[in-house]
């Protein structure tokens, strides 16, 4: 049955963001550090609204409107947010591609999205030379701070700001994001106007999200949390995909200038900051530090908390399709009982969770409903969640839907998180590693987090990774600089109770470009195949 649409201007994320009652035109919306500038520059909400309305007028002049797709390959900047909001304002759909995939995947994703316009930095426009799908886009805009962006700025200056908001239904798509996540194949995640606002409202429910706080998030979508609730946000000065190489002194200077009170980023960012703060013996100068994007160890969470004598360190668990799922403060972590895996805290109150049997195949419920699939308390399986801020659709990709969603008898759509784990009797969620990374042996399943924690606790081990090599379970170990020659032997002894085929030492392990934390297992297997093992 076709869903009834009820379009309203106030359902548009543009209206929910820049026309919200919390918005004060004179208040700083964004701090950013332009290329070559000596210091940060402030963009006020009034400036952002005017720029957004000018971009909207430009889109309208190019006959781009409701339902049209606009591809955006622009890093975090005032131009990015003005473009996203303008696209929503005219009823069009912003499309984002994962920048870390190959050219063929970019071409396929662009062909599937079929955008009518492309806003991108100069480097992104190189794809127009390489990709037939990119060359078919009729309207192209170079977004840049230097002379290459002059044409775009002149076009905007010629526009009369248009404040008209196109009515949308809450279920209408606002964003399509092609993301590889941890699965490799880009999935076109469709985020509706209603879903985005539910997600941002869920993020905003934490006690830290007061109107006068100042955010500094690493991820573009998280900055919308501040914008739509009238808070000032700071764009961190770092290269995209180079989080682990960010200059901590620069980030701390940004925090001091803007008075940052909320910091959000992956473990790699916090490791970088902690190393610097330890050297200079200074605290982390924020009230709340949110860690996410990858599994957050109890050790890291506590070390961040130790640098925040008057603040709180909080681990947040979520994914592209649902954010947040659960959270755990360092104070709560300190009171946890011993458990198998990494605790990510209690479920967000707007969500429901089930633990289902591990399966590489789509899950289709029959007349028996959940009975053959749902597991009891403390039993490990795959996490599945449902709720208002769970993305329930992919853009014209039935295979992705079948692999990642479960349709329940009551009509609710559940999202498979792709993580193995369990729920304890107190309702806390514990992660055991990616479900696809679990190695099944005649002796039972080997869960990555369990073995990696044991191996990582051996003196001389900086990091340990469980990886299947030709189906056999190996442990790749990154030794510390102080490690002795017998570190692999020591790890083997610590794992004597598990059927590990081999323990090998590696100088480093490849990680994903987005978070600089998650291990790229395919790249690690190629690295191991080249030899150099010990």
How many whole angstroms separate alpha carbon 375 and alpha carbon 423?
Answer: 10
Print the SS3 string covering 36-96.
CCCCCEEEEHHHHHHHHHHHHHHHHHCCCCCCCEEEEECCCCHHHHHHHHHHHHCCCEEEE
Q: What's the N-to-C CA distance of the chain in angstroms?
A: 61
Q: Which of 208, 256, 244, 197 is nearest to 31 (CA)?
A: 256
Proportion of the chain above pLDDT 70, given as a percent: 96
- Mind listing the pLDDT tens digit for each residue in 10-42? 999 999 899 988 899 999 999 999 988 899 999
pLDDT band at residue 239 under the 50/70/90 scheme: confident
**At 46, phi and psi to the nearest 5?**
-60, -40
Which of the two residues, 514 and 476, has the higher pLDDT score?
A: 476
Q: SS3 for 299?
A: helix
Retrieve residue 484's tokens. Answer: 């002795």
- CA contacts within 13 A on the Cβ side of 43: 22
- Mind listing the pLDDT tens digit for each residue in 260-274? 999 999 999 999 999
Q: Is the pLDDT of residue 428 over 50?
A: yes
Give the DSSP per-residue string, 358-394: --SS-----TTTTTTTB--TT--EEEEEEETTB---B
Q: SS3 for 431?
A: strand
Q: Of 253-262, 292-301, 524-533, which gets the smallest average pLDDT?
A: 524-533
Report CA torsion sign: 4, 10, 15, 20. negative
Q: Is the pLDDT of residue 241 over 80?
A: no
pLDDT band at residue 3 under the 50/70/90 scheme: low
CB 114 within 8 A of CB 67: no
Superfamily of domain 339-435, CATH level 4:
Luciferase; Domain 3 (2.30.38.10)
CATH number of 205-335: 3.40.50.980
Q: Is the pLDDT of residue 2 over 70?
A: no
Proportion of the chain above pLDDT 90, given as a percent: 77
Residue with the two structure tokens 């994703």: 109
Q: Is the pLDDT of residue 87 over 60?
A: yes
Retrieve residue 162's tokens. Answer: 């248009």
pLDDT band at residue 514 under the 50/70/90 scheme: low
205-335 matches 438-529 in fold: no
Strands 262-265, 214-217: pairing is parallel
**At 21, phi and psi to the nearest 5?**
-65, -20
Q: Where are the domains of the chain?
A: 9-198, 205-335, 339-435, 438-529
**At 10, phi and psi to the nearest 5?**
-70, -10
Q: Which of 91, 74, 250 is nearest to 162 (CA)?
A: 91
- Mind listing the pLDDT tens digit for each residue in 348-395? 999 999 999 999 999 999 999 999 999 999 999 999 999 999 998 888
Cα angle: 330, vertex 305, 454; to 5 degrees: 65
Q: Which of 119, 290, 100, 279 is nearest to 182 (CA)?
A: 100
Chain centroid, CA 332 distance in Å: 24
CB 511 within 8 A of CB 266: no
| CB-count exposure of residue 37 (10 Å: 0-12, 13-18, 19+) | exposed
Which whole number is the average pLDDT over 120-141? 95
pLDDT of residue 104: 85
Which whole number is the average pLDDT over 182-194? 78
Q: SS3 for 105?
A: helix
Superfamily of domain 9-198, CATH level 4:
ANL, N-terminal domain (3.40.50.12780)
- Mind listing the pLDDT tens digit for each residue in 141-180? 999 988 899 999 999 999 999 999 999 999 999 999 998 6
Chain centroid, CA 242 distance in Å: 15
pLDDT band at residue 204 under the 50/70/90 scheme: confident
Q: Which of 224, 423, 233, 417 is nearest to 321 (CA)?
A: 417
- Mind listing the pLDDT tens digit for each residue in 212-235? 999 999 999 889 989 988 999 999
CATH architecture type of domain 438-529: 2-Layer Sandwich (3.30)
pLDDT of residue 182: 46
- The crossing angle, in degrees rounded to 10, of helices 487-494 and 448-456 is 130
How many whole angstroms separate alpha carbon 357 and alpha carbon 363?
Answer: 10
Strand residue runs (E) in 183-307: 187-192, 214-217, 232-234, 262-265, 288-291
Q: Of 165-174, 237-246, 340-349, which gets the smallest average pLDDT?
A: 237-246
């Amino acid at each position: 049955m076709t869903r009834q649409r009820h379009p309203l201007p106030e359902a548009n994320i543009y209206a929910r963001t820049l026309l919200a009652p919390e918005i004060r035109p004179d208040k700083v919306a964004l701090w950013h550090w332009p290329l070559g500038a000596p210091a940060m520059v402030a963009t006020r909400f009034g400036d952002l609204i005017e720029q957004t309305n000018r971009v909207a007028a430009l889109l309208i002049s190019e006959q781009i409107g409701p339902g049209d797709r606009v591809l955006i390959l622009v890093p975090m900047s005032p131009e990015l947010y003005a473009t996203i909001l303008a696209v929503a304002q005219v009823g069009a759909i912003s499309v984002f591609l994962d920048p870390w995939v190959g050219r063929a995947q970019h071409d396929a994703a662009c062909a599937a999205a079929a955008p009518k316009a492309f806003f991108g930095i100069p480097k992104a426009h190189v794809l127009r030379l390489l990709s037939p799908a990119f060359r078919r886009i009729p309207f192209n805009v170079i977004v840049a701070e230097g002379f290459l962006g002059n044409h775009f700025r002149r076009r905007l200056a010629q526009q009369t700001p248009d404040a008209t908001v196109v009515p949308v239904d809450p279920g209408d798509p606002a964003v399509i994001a092609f993301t590889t996540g941890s699965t490799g194949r880009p999935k076109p995640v469709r985020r509706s106007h209603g879903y985005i606002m539910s997600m941002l409202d869920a993020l905003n429910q934490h006690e830290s999200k007061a109107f006068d706080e100042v955010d500094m998030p690493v991820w573009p979508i998280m900055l919308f949390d501040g914008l739509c609730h009238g808070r000032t946000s700071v764009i961190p000065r770092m290269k995209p995909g180079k989080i682990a190489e960010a200059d901590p002194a620069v980030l701390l200077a940004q925090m001091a200038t803007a008075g940052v009170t909320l910091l959000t980023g992956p473990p790699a960012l916090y490791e970088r900051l902690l190393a610097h703060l330890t050297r200079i013996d200074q605290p982390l100068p924020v009230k709340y530090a949110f860690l996410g994007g990858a599994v957050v160890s109890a050790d890291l969470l506590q070390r961040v908390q130790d640098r925040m004598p008057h603040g709180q360190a909080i681990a947040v668990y979520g994914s592209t399709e649902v954010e947040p799922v659960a959270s755990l403060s360092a104070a709560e972590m300190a009171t946890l009982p011993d458990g198998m895996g990494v605790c990510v805290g209690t479920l967000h109150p707007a969500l429901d969770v089930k633990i289902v049997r591990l399966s590489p195949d789509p899950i289709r419920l029959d007349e028996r409903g959940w009975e053959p699939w749902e597991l009891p308390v403390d039993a490990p399986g795959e996490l599945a969640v449902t709720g208002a801020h769970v993305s329930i659709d992919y853009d014209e990709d039935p295979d992705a839907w079948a692999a990642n969603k479960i349709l329940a008898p009551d009509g609710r759509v559940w999202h498979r998180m792709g993580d193995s784990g369990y729920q304890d009797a107190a309702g806390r969620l514990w992660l055991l590693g990616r479900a696809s990374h679990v190695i099944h042996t005649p002796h039972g399943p080997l869960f990555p987090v369990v073995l990696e924690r044991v191996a990582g606790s051996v003196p001389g081990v900086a990091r340990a990774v469980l990886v299947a090599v030709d189906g056999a379970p190996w442990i790749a170990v990154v030794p510390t600089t102080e490690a002795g020659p017998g570190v692999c032997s020591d790890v083997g002894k610590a794992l004597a109770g598990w059927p590990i085929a081999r323990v090998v030492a590696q100088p480093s392990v490849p990680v994903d470009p987005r978070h600089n934390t998650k291990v790229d297992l395919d790249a690690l297997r190629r690295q191991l195949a080249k030899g150099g093992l010990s």
